[in-house]
Amino acid sequence: MKRILLPILAILLWFPALADEGMWLPGLIASRIDDMRAKGFHLSAEAIYSINQASMKDAVVLFDGGCTGELVSSEGLLLTNHHCGYDAIQRHSSLEHDYLTDGFWARTREEELPNENLNVRFLVRMEEITDRLAAGETAEAIIAEATADGRYKASIEQMYYGNQQFLFVYEQFDDVRLVGTPPSSIGKFGGDTDNWIWPRHTGDFSVFRIYADRENRPAPYSPDNVPYRPRRHFKISTRGVGEGDFTMIYGFPGNTQQYVLSDAVAYVEERSDPMKIDLRTRRLGIIAEAQEADPATRIRYAAKYANIANAWKKWQGEVLGLRRLGTIEKKRAYERDFARWAADKPEYAHLLDSMRAAYAAAERDYYVAELMYETGRTIDLCRLAALNLERSRAAAAGKSWSETAPEKESAYRAQYADFDPEVDRRLAECVLSGFAEYYPGGTLPADLQAEIDRHGGTIAAYVDYLYDHSPSVSQAAAEAADTTALREDAALRLLGCFAFGTPGHPAPLVRNLSNVPSVERWYRPYMKALMEFDPGRAFFPDANLTLRVAYGAVEGYRYADGVYHKPLTTIEGVIAKDDPAIYDYNVPQRLRELCAAQDYGRWAAEIDGRTTVPVCFLATNHTTGGNSGSPVLNGRGELVGINFDRTWLSTMSDIEFDPDVCRNIAVDIRYVLLVIDRIGGAGHLIDEMEFAD
């Protein structure tokens, strides 16, 4: 095991990254600190990550299991993206209190809104355990030791496909309350039209607060809880950033595939992404039509639409980027060079052949699993049928959810609150038809075909039968039905047709095709071989939703021939796009008035000889999904922005990072503060924050 590890550490220590590519483990950031300082960072590695004293890691959280947030006060005040808090904002919204459209600002602590099933996690420490596992300790024993006092949660994560393994210990807080959110016309300005696009003018932020018990320990929601007192929070800089300035991202990136073979890239570019894009295009069209016809449906389906659309547009950019870069052929050329190098090395000579054979054997089932995930497993009626049966069985056993599992009861009622049976009927017919079109071989699985034949013989007739007869179409009908009726619901049988891991069905979906166990097993020796073959390459572990540091600089880029995208947008650009006739561009009247009067107060800046407010900026930091909401820090470790997106030409950076065009997009902290202060009238939140200048 040590023979594998030594080349990794040597490479991390001695070779700089190409341009600003890389997502670095904070516990090993000392190996990067000289490069960071050369690019404008002024602090120590200990300031970034320490287990002996408060450090930046103590001001960063994994937010709601898939985003990042940062602490900005000594009283648990937290910033993240508007789109990260979108589900919570939507659940608190109604026609009477439309916080999506109008925004929300708690004037007192008592007005802050609790959120069921929303949590944040702080990284307490990370520890390499490669040698401990090699010596015979089990993962279960290591995790049990780390969580013995019941206060912490832990997981073991692989780096470099298992060549290194780390224990991550977390402290989780479950009482997280909504404090403030701008209206969607600021927080989601431009909607899906502007998503992944530059220039950008979106104030993509929301404000939450973490609560703890009176000993500052995690606790379930209680009105007796008090604001959490963090070990560290970020100071805020209002001096701004300019082109060339150092920036650092500290967050939880979710998924990259930097080292995969050309086979994996071809699967993404030629088969997987095109299928998913097409199916989501159809679903989005149905939801959009329903939203336009009814304001209540617009609210109910807002989060669903946003969740579907985000990856949908990202995949389109990813395909274009991979084709533009010729990534498949680049990978093939690299693999040919590797094969020549490996030819006289018995341990590696046939490695690529084994990997390609594993891909060929695994691809069909993985594709079917992705297809199932994009079609039958999206049908809300099926999920509700399963919940209703589970709820009924619990009640029959004397374990009413309202008493024994209030979090389940809350989630169950929230699903019905966001459910429209007629919209879902149309979506079900759409996705089942799509499944039939894309399913390999041209014939449906026998169990699904049998269900269709039993109830009408066509997909349209089958869907009508489901929605005309299922008790789960109505919450009232479902709660009135007995367990026997719920168990016989045809929607449950449909759900079974899309179950993973049952006879005739593929295994559960893993992160990528390359993570299918029969494929992934070959990447451990392959990564070891790559580090011997290409010792000048800066290897960093793929993202896997563990805390990472990325760093770079504020920088524009050449978008097309004769077109250069500057790295900064301003509030005048918001007004230039303002259109009261379009929901996503209809900015609040108060913002129009501020701009007309140039009444920006302390958040004003002088740019190109004019008084304005910066809105968004570009930087060269390597980011991906999960980095949404990450703090963007200057060279002194002060908060200057909140990361929320990449440019459309950057979305292939999960597979290939192109330093010429890959840019992350952040909302400038001065625009965030302007909106909190002058639009939300929540100056009391500003008073909580600590400013560096």
Residues belonging to the active site = 83, 204, 628
Q: Please state, in angstroms and as integers, the Cα–Cα distance from residue 299 to each residue in 82, 93, 99, 152, following that order.
A: 15, 7, 10, 37
Do 661 and 647 meet the contact criterion of CB atoms below 8 Å apart? yes
Supply 310's token pair: 């985000």
Distance CA 367, CA 439 (A): 9
Tokens of 146: 């780390």
Q: Enter the tokens of residue 384.
A: 């509700």
DSSP state of 16: P
C-alpha span between 164 and 8 (Å, rounded): 9
CA distance 624 to 601: 34
Q: What letter represents residue 651's amino acid? A: T
CA distance 81 to 68: 8
What the block records as the tokens of 654 is 């999960």
DSSP state of 24: B
DSSP labels, 128-175: E-HHHHHTT--HHHHHHHHTTTSS-EEEEEEEGGGTEEEEEEEEEE-E
Q: Is the dihedral of CA 592, 597, 601, 604 positive or negative?
A: positive
- How far is it, in rounded angstroms, from Cα 53 to Cα 629? 25
CB 70 within 8 A of CB 59: yes
User: In the numeric block, which tokens belong to residue 567?
Assistant: 């790295």
Bridge partners, 70 (sequence order): 60, 79
Whole-angstrom distance, CA of residue 664 vs CA of residue 192: 17
Amino acid at 87: D
Question: Helices 523-533 & 2-14, crossing angle to 10 degrees?
Answer: 50
In contact, 121 and 168? CB cutoff 8 Å = no
Which tokens go with 373? Answer: 């995930």
Rounded CA separation 177/210 (Å): 7
Separation of alpha carbons 690 and 230, rounded Å: 14
Question: What whole-number distance in Å separates Cα of residue 630 and Cα of residue 622?
Answer: 12
Query: In terms of C-beta density within 10 A (0-12 exposed, 13-18 middle, 19 or more buried), how is residue 227 classed?
Result: buried
Contacts 24+ apart (CB under 8 A), 633-636: 633/56, 633/234, 633/247, 633/248, 633/249, 633/250, 634/237, 634/241, 634/245, 634/246, 634/247, 634/248, 635/40, 635/41, 635/42, 635/43, 635/245, 635/246, 635/248, 636/42, 636/43, 636/237, 636/692
Q: Which amino acid, residue 384?
A: L
CA distance 78 to 69: 6
Q: In sequence order, what are the beta bridge partners of 557?
A: 565
Q: In what order do the strands lie in the sheet with 246-251?
A: 548-553, 246-251, 631-633, 639-646, 664-668, 614-619, 568-570
Rounded to whole angstroms, the Cα distance separating 470 from 467 reads 6
Query: E-assigned strands of 174-229?
Result: 175-181, 206-212, 226-227
> Is the C-alpha dihedral spanning 668, 674, 675, 676 positive or negative?
positive
Q: Is 524 left (phi over 0), alpha (psi -120 to 50) or beta?
A: alpha
Question: Would you say 614 and 14 are in contact if contact means Cβ atoms under 8 Å apart?
Answer: no
